[in-house]
Chains A and B, each alone.
Chain A
Amino acid sequence: MRTLYKFHGGVHPPTNKTQSNLTPIAQAALPSKLLIPLHQHVGSSAKPVVEVGEYVLKGQRIGRPEGHLSSAVHASTSGTIAAIDMQRVAHPSGIPDLCITLIPDGLDEWIALDTCDDWTTLSHTDLRHRLREAGVVGLGGAVFPSDMKLYSHKHKIKTLVLNGAECEPYITCDDMLMRERAGEILQGAEMMRALLYAEEVLIGIEDNKPEAIAAMKSAVVAGNHQRMEVIAVPTVYPGGGAKQLIRVLTGIEVAAGVRSTNMGVQCFNVGTAYSAWRAIRFGEPLVSRIVTVTGNVSRPQNYDALIGTPMDELVAQSGQLPGTTGYIMGGPMMGVLMPSRQVGVIKAANCIIASSDKLFPTAKPALPCIRCTRCADVCPSELQPQELYWFSKAKNFDKAEDYHLFDCIECGACSYVCPSNIPLVQYYRFAKSEIWAREAGKKAADAARERHEYRESRIEREKREKTEKLAAKEKAAQAAKTPLQPVVAAANPDADPENTMQLKIQTAIDRAKEQAAAIKPKNVEQLTPQQQAEINDIEARRARIRELAKDNTDAQP
C-alpha cells in the first residue's frame, strides 16, 4: 500500500456526478454547423490554411501551428468552409476571436490517416511533431500543447502522474473515459513515459469513482504495464489540481512559479493520454472530446462531441429544461459562464452545465469579514485569504503580493465556505489584474523614458557632430591659410578639476541608470506562456467587468 500525502485544506461540495455517469458515452449527433476557433490552446493562435468555400475532409488541417508554442486545428467533420471570421467564442469575456465555420456535408468522411502500428519505431522528435500536428493539447482544462510538455532535460523526470482525479462537481467526462477506454489511456501513458524517460506512472483517481478505478486497474494488468500504478486518492476539492495531485501521490510540493519537471514530476490528464494515443496509433487529430452535459437538462449525459459543435445544439440532445439561464463551461467551482449559448465546443470544454436559478441561486449580499478563517482552513495553497481580501479591497497590492497573492490558484474553496458570502476569488482576480496592469504600465513608461533619453542623446550627438564638423572645416580652412604651427600637447583631462567632476557625475548617473534597469517588474517579466494566457484571460475578464459596470450605471438613472 502506497503512503499518500495530504495537502492542506480543501472542501467537500456536493459532487452531483451521478446524474451524468449512469449512462455510457453517447456519440453526439452531427450538428448543423461547426464553429471552430483557431485559438483553443495556450500559445499563439493557429493560422488558417483553408479558404472560404473550400471542401474539407474530417481530420484535415485547417489551421497550422504558428511559432514555437502553438497547436494545429482540424476540420471536425467533412464539409464546406462557410466563413473565416470573428465570432464569439467559449470565453467569458465575450470578445470575438477568429473562427472557422464549417457546414458538415453529413458524410463525416475521414481524410487519409497516417497510422502507426508500433510507435517505438518512431523517433521522439517525430512523435512530438506528430502530436503537435494532431493538435493534441491538455484536456484537463489548461489546453497546453502536449508536445511542449513531453521533453525531458537530462532525464530528470522520475514520475509521470496521470490525472484522473476529476474533483470538480458535476463533471464526469474523465470518469466515463476511464471506464470505457482505459486500455487506450494506458497505451498513451506508456508513450508519454517513454518520451519523458520517466520511471514510474502514477494514476490518481478520486475514490468516488470505484468503477473507473477498477477499469483502470484491470487495464494495467491486461496490458501488462510495469511500474504503473492506479491509486485511489481521497475525494476532496481541489484534489484534481495538478499541484495538489502531485503532492498527494509523491509528497512533493511544487511552489508557484516552479515547474514540476524541475522536481522530477510531469502531469497529464487522462483524456490527453487517450488523445495522444489516438493521434499516434491511428493518426487521428484531436477533432472531438468527451463532454459532460448536465445541470438543468432532463437527460444528463456524456457525449463524444465534435470540436466546434454549438453548445446549444449539444445541450438540446440532453433535453434542455425551461428556466435555463445560461451555460457554464467547466464545473461550478472554477467554470466560466459562456457569453452566448451558440459558442462552439472547444478542446478545453470538459463539461457544459445548463444553469438555472434553482441550481445556482442568487448569492446573498456580502457581509463584512469576521476573520473566522474558514477560508484559511480550506486554502490548498496555505494562504491567508482573509488578509489577501483585506489588502485587495484596500488596493494595498504590495502587501497582497507580500502575502503571496500570486500563489493563489483561484480554486474558489475560500469563496465556497465564506459565511459572509464574500466573493473572495473575485477580489484576488481583481488584485492580480491590477498588479499586472500596473507593472505593464511601468514597463511601458520605462520604454517611453528610454526612447526619450535615446532621442535626446541622438540630438545631442548630432549637434556635437555638426559643431565638430564645422570646427574641422574651419580648422582646415585656417590650416590652409596659416603656416604650420607647432602642436601644443593636449592637456591631461584628469588634471582639469572640472573634468574630473564631470566624469564622476557621469559615472554616478550611469550607475544609477544601471540600478534602475536592474529593477524589473517581477510579475510581468519572463512569463511562461501559461501565465501570459492567464493574464490575457484576466484582461479580457476585466474588459467584461468594465462593460458590465457600464451597463449597470447606464441602467441607473
Chain B
Amino acid sequence: MSGFFSPFITKPVSVSQIMLHVLLALIPGIAIYVWFYGPAILISLTLASITALVIEALMLKIQNKPLAPYLKDNSALLTAWLLALSIPPLAPWWLVVVGTAFAISISKHLYGGLGNNPFNPAMIGYAVLIISFPSHMTHWLTPHGLAEIPLSFPDQLNYIFHGMLPDGVRLDAVTMATPLDTLKTQLHLNTQLKDILEMPIYGRMAGIGSEWVATGFLLGGIYLLAKRLISWHIPAAFLGTLFITSGLFHLLDPSHHVAPLFHWFSGAAMLGAFFILTDPVTSPTTPRGKLIFAAGAGLLTYLIRSFGGFPDGMAFATLLMNICVPLIDAWTQPKVFGKKEKQP
C-alpha cells in the first residue's frame, strides 16, 4: 500500500534518473575531449568520481543519514564530472581530489546536503582551486596535432600521479594557456586581434579542439532540452546575453573585442549554459527568475572574461548569481490561477 493518503500513484521518475540523464548528456562533449586531448580527462573524471563518492559516504555517515538512497542519487557524481571538466586534464591528482572533496564536503554537506546548498558545489570547487593553486590551473593540454611532442597515455598518467614528464620534454611544450587566456594576454601585449586569431591554436570560431568540445556540450544540452530535463529559459537567456553584450562590444571596437561566437564556443560557456547554471538547487525556480538569473550570469561572464583577472568568468558569474537566487525568486513569483488582471 503506497500510504494512507492520496495520491496513491506516482510517476516513475527519480532524482537518480534525472541526474543520470544529465551525466549521459555530458558524454558527447567528453568523447570529443578525448579525441582532441587524449585520455587524460578520463583519469580526472575517475579520480573526481571516486573522491566524490567517498566523501559523500563519509559526510552522510557523520550525519547519520542513510547511505544507499543518497549515494544512488548520482548528484555527487555530477558535481565531480562538472568539476573535472572545468580543470586542466593534466592537473596533478591531488588537485582534483582536493577540489572535489571541498565541493562535496564544505559546499554541499555543510550547507545541509542535497537540495540545500546555495552555491553550485562544482563551481565552489573550481573557485577554491583557481584561487589556491593558480599556476596548476593554467596548464591546459595542447590539442592533438598542435603539440610539438604528443604525450602518450602512460606519459599523461605518469605526470598526473608523479609529476614527471618524459626526458627532454618541458611542460610548456605539451601545455598551453586556454584560447580565452591567450587572447586576453595577447591583447594586453597590444597584439592586433587579427594577428592573435591567426595563431595556430585558433580554429573556425574559437580554440581548435575546444570549440568542438563546446559543440559536444551544446549537443548534450539539446538532448536535455528535448528530454525536458531543463527548461529553455536559462540557456537561452545566458547565451543570448553573452551574444548581445559581446556583439555590442565587437561592433563598437572590432579590433579589441572578438565576435560573439568566439565567446559561445570558448571556455565553459556551453557547459555553463546547459549543465552548470541549470542546476535546479542553485538556480531560481520561476520562469522569469531563471531569465534574470541567466542574463545576469551572461553579463558577468562577459565582463570577467574581458575586463577581469581570471581566464574565464563562468564560475564566478555562477557563484555571484547564486547569491541572488532567493531574492530573484521572491521578486518573480508568478500570479496564481484566477488572480491575474486579464480575464476574457
A interface, CB within 8 angstroms of B: 5, 7-8, 11, 13-14, 92, 169, 243, 247, 250-256, 258, 263, 325-326, 328, 330, 332-337, 355, 357, 360-365, 367-374, 376, 380-384, 386-387, 403-404, 407, 412, 415-421, 423, 425-426, 429, 541, 544, 548
Contact = CB atoms under 8 A, between A and B. Distances in A.
Contacts of A330: 6
Contact of A416 (B1, B9, B69, B280): B9
Interface in B12-51: 13-15, 17-18
Interface string B1-14: 11111111111011
Nearest to A544: B4
Contact of A362 (B1, B11, B338): B1
B281 interface: yes
Contacts of A418: 10
Contact of A425 (B5, B15, B17, B69): B5
A328 B3 CA distance: 11
A426 B6 CA distance: 8
Interface stretch (B113-121, B252-260, B307-315): B113-121
Contact of B336 (A169, A369, A382): A382
Given A381-B337, A383-B336, A384-B333, A370 B15 contact: yes
Interface in B253-273: none
Contacts of B18: 372, 419
A404 B3 contact: no
Query: Among the interface residues B7, B283, B285, which one has the most CB atoms of the partner chain A within 10 A?
Result: B7
B115 A243 contact: no
A334 B7 contact: yes
Interface residues on B, range: 35 or more
A367 B139 CA distance: 40
Interface of B: 1-11, 13-15, 17-18, 66, 69-70, 73, 75, 113-116, 280-281, 283, 285-286, 329, 333-340, 343-344
A328 B4 CA distance: 10
A333 B9 CA distance: 7
Nearest to A417: B11
A407 B333 CA distance: 14
B289 to A, nearest CB: 10
Given A367-B114, A419-B18, A13 B337 contact: no
14 contacts: A92-B5, A169-B9, A247-B337, A251-B344, A255-B339, A256-B338, A258-B338, A328-B6, A360-B9, A363-B2, A364-B69, A384-B285, A407-B336, A416-B9
Nearest to A541: B5
B115 A360 contact: no
A88 B121 CA distance: 54
Given A368-B115, A371-B285, A415-B10, A360 B1 contact: yes
A373 B343 contact: no
B343 A387 contact: no
Query: Among the interface residues A369, A407, A417, A419, which one has the most CB atoms of the partner chain B within 10 A?
Result: A419
A487 B336 CA distance: 73
A-B pairs with the 5 shortest C-beta distances? Answer: A255-B338, A368-B115, A412-B7, A251-B344, A253-B338
Nearest to B66: A365
A367 B69 contact: yes
A326 B280 CA distance: 38
A373 B280 contact: yes
A370 B337 contact: no
Contacts of B66: 365
A360 B6 CA distance: 11
A425 B280 contact: no
Contact of B5 (A325, A337, A372): A337
Contacts of A169: 9
A365 B5 contact: no
A43 to B, nearest CB: 24
A11 to B, nearest CB: 7
B9 to A, nearest CB: 5
Given A8-B337, A251-B344, A362-B1, A370 B7 contact: no
Contacts of B13: 374, 417, 419
B280 A372 contact: yes
A360 B281 contact: no
Contacts of A381: 336-337
Given A381-B337, A415-B10, A419-B17, A368 B2 contact: no
Given A384-B285, A404-B336, A407-B336, A416 B10 contact: yes
Contacts of A368: 113-116
Contacts of A5: 344
Contact of A328 (B8, B114, B115, B280): B8
A99 B285 CA distance: 49
Given A360-B1, A368-B114, 10 more contacts: A243-B338, A252-B344, A256-B337, A330-B6, A333-B8, A335-B6, A336-B6, A403-B333, A420-B15, A421-B14
Nearest to A365: B69
A11 B69 CA distance: 26
B248 to A, nearest CB: 32
Contact of A423 (B5, B73, B286): B5
Nearest to B114: A368
A304 to B, nearest CB: 26
Contacts of A429: 5
A283 B187 CA distance: 93
A517 B113 CA distance: 46
B235 to A, nearest CB: 16
Contact of B281 (A7, A247, A370, A384): A370
Contacts of B2: 360-363
A333 B7 contact: yes
Nearest to A335: B6
A415 B344 CA distance: 31
Query: Among the interface residues B5, B115, B329, which one has the most CB atoms of the partner chain A within 10 A?
Result: B5
Given A363-B3, A368-B114, A335 B337 contact: no
Contacts of B339: 255, 404, 407
Given A256-B338, A367-B15, A332 B7 contact: yes
Given A355-B1, A372-B18, A419-B14, A382 B335 contact: yes
A365 B66 CA distance: 11
